[in-house]
Structure 1
């Protein structure tokens, strides 16, 4: 199994991941707006984000926190949402890729989920603390 090496790999990962979370029983509600608008505009933005995170590509210029504040305003996000998002992300990465970039994708996603939850809710979550420590 190969590692994540470029934008095509990131996009393939994102397509499989979103195919899952858009219909996931825990995540369907927070992703309802994205499901209705479609992935055509979202995948390139998320690809830029993850290429920047994984490869220091400098492609993403937005504010992920601000985007998620809007989601949180419509559907309050809890630790349950972030743990499920992270679980699906990790499973998808593990199914598709092996190597340093794949491991970095999982570590960075854990850090992002922890920080996003903390900033949106103002509290820590034991489940996310454990995932971050593990």
Structure 2
């Protein structure tokens, strides 16, 4: 009887060790796959941020066009008392300035999160040197 219990005990220990080994391997896989998932999440955040930046740049360009048109009309007109329009532009510029600061702060991604592949838009440094 002692031999049977001894054999069953050693089989149980071996099964436990195999199970523990499996847990260790699974934990390692879980960690690696979780890191890959976090990386995908971070890339999605970068894409979302890039979308916000693109919308912002359209707003800035539209405002610049409006201001230039206003200034051109002002140069052709003798009266420069259009304070309400200048105040409106000033408020819009202030709001856009807050947005650019928010986007700049939100764009402080770690270097590993940014994909500089062919689908990535050129950076401002690339545009400045072109």
State the TM-score bracket (shorter-chain normalisation).
under 0.3
Report the TM-score when normalising by structure 1: 0.22
- Considering Cα pairs closer than 8 Å and 6+ residues apart, tell me whether 1 or 2 has the greater RCO: 2
Query: Which is greater in Rg?
Result: 2
Which of the two has greater helix per residue?
2
